[in-house]
Amino acid sequence: MKSILGWTAVGISIAAVMGMAGCAGTPVPNSKVASSEAAIRAAQETGSRGVPQAALHLKLAEEQLQSAKALIRDNNNQRAEYVLMRAQADAELAIALSHVATSNVQAGAAVDAARAVRTGTPTP
């Protein structure tokens, strides 16, 4: 009877040690934090706050970065890595949307200039 209880205790101890080793297996994603922060800075510098859809994705990226940092503090590094990938993707989408908005403005100005040349009216 004692041997069954003893082996059960050993089995439970081994399972607990293996479970803890599985949680500690994912290193802190420092490089992902840095790349997400860089993408967010780039989005801020490209004027994403001035484009409504880009501003939304920039805000999401900033919130996800903060969530990931909280997950890292809680030693949930694997989940933090996924959240950081999403933050970087949202920041890069904000950059792309900002560039599209800028291109659309430039294209509109070019169309207006072409119309002015065609009709012979001076451009302002």
Tell me the two tokens of residue 36. Answer: 């997400």
Cα–Cα distance, 47 to 94 (Å, whole number): 9
Cα–Cα distance, 42 to 121 (Å, whole number): 40
Cα–Cα distance, 3 to 6 (Å, whole number): 5
Higher per-residue pLDDT: 89 or 124: 89
Give the angle 77-83-87 at the CA atoms, nearest 5°. Answer: 135
Give the start-to-end residue ranges of the domains of the chain.
28-119
Average pLDDT for the chain: 85
Average the pLDDT over 34-58 and give the result. Answer: 96
Q: What is the DSSP string of 31-100?
A: HHHHHHHHHHHHHHHTTGGGSHHHHHHHHHHHHHHHHHHHHHHTT-HHHHHHHHHHHHHHHHHHHHHHHH
Average the pLDDT over 58-83 and give the result. Answer: 97
Cα–Cα distance, 99 to 85 (Å, whole number): 21
Reported as a pLDDT band with limits 50, 70 and 90, residue 105 is confident
Q: Is the C-alpha dihedral spanning 88, 79, 77, 74 positive or negative? A: positive
Residue 60 clears pLDDT 60, i.e. is over it: yes
Average the pLDDT over 103-114 and give the result. Answer: 85
Residue 18 clears pLDDT 80, i.e. is over it: no
Percent of the chain with pLDDT over 90: 60
Residue 1 clears pLDDT 50, i.e. is over it: no
Reported as a pLDDT band with limits 50, 70 and 90, residue 42 is very high
Residue 110 clears pLDDT 90, i.e. is over it: no
Whether 64 and 40 have beta carbons less than 8 Å apart is answered as no
